[in-house]
């Protein structure tokens, strides 16, 4: 289900990289989220885009070459607004917590989502396990396909498979 009318839908690196998760239920839910919303608009912080790249760049060149054609095409086809944080986002971020709390990148992203009245789609258990936050998991269901040639590029991108705890 899409966010309420007028509410921006934000995605994080865990949702995006979740399309290449080794855990099939996560992979299917994340892929289907994006496949169902190709004509929609979502928002992703510049930092979250960078987190995706940072993880993929740790893999051998052959894996990167299999992954990036899909990612590049998806970012071109789908309306993904890539935006930076502003001062109001920083002021809205949850305060630092004791060790074991949310990492800074998740607190900053929450600040952006809270400040702008949005909903975050994520597969981060740290975020999903905290009641009261505007964070939702992607819906489970059958695996949806991307239109060709994006589906073919997606299948090729599956040379990159990530354990759920590395998303």
What is the tens place of the pLDDT at every residue in 135-159?
999 999 999 999 999 999 999 999 9
Quote the number of domains for the chain. 1
The answer to whether residue 31 is domain-embedded is yes
Please say whether the beta carbons of 4 and 136 come within 8 A: no
Which residue, 65, 104, 80, is CA-closest to 10? 80
CATH number of the domain residue 102 falls in = 3.40.50.1010
The answer to whether residue 123 is domain-embedded is yes
Instruction: Report how far residue 49's alpha carbon sits from residue 70's, in angstroms, rounded to the nearest whole number.
Output: 14
What is the tens place of the pLDDT at every residue in 29-62?
999 999 999 999 999 999 999 999 999 999 999 9
The answer to whether residue 2 is domain-embedded is no
The per-residue pLDDT for 95 is 83
Which residue, 151, 116, 157, 113, is CA-closest to 135? 113
Give yes or no for residue 75 having a pLDDT over 70: yes
pTM of the model: 0.92
The answer to whether residue 111 is domain-embedded is yes
Domain span including residue 19: 9-166
Please say whether the beta carbons of 54 and 36 come within 8 A: no
The answer to whether residue 4 is domain-embedded is no
Which residue, 74, 69, 65, is CA-closest to 30? 74
The answer to whether residue 3 is domain-embedded is no
DSSP labels, 100-115:
TS--HHHHHHHHHHHH
Question: In sequence order, what are the beta bridge partners of 82?
Answer: 44
- Quick one: pLDDT band at residue 7, thresholds 50, 70, 90? confident
130: left (phi over 0), alpha (psi -120 to 50) or beta: beta
Residues ≥6 apart with Cβ < 8 Å to 162 = 17, 20, 21, 22, 55
Which of the two residues, 97 and 100, has the higher pLDDT score? 97
């Amino acid at each position: 289900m899409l966010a309420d009318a007028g509410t921006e839908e934000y995605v994080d690196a865990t949702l995006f990289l979740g399309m290449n998760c080794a855990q099939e239920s996560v992979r299917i839910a994340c892929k289907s989220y994006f496949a169902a919303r190709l004509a929609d608009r979502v928002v992703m912080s510049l930092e979250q885009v960078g987190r995706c790249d940072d993880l993929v760049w740790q893999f051998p060149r052959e894996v990167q070459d299999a992954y990036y054609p899909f990612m590049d095409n998806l970012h071109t086809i789908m309306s993904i607004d890539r935006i930076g944080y502003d001062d109001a986002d920083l002021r809205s971020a949850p305060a630092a917590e004791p060790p074991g709390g949310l990492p800074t990148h998740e607190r900053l992203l929450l600040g952006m989502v809270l400040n702008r009245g949005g909903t975050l789609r994520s597969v981060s258990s740290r975020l999903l396990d905290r009641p009261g936050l505007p964070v939702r998991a992607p819906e489970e269901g059958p695996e949806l396909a991307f239109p060709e040639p994006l589906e073919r590029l997606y299948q090729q991108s599956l040379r990159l498979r990530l354990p759920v705890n590395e998303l």
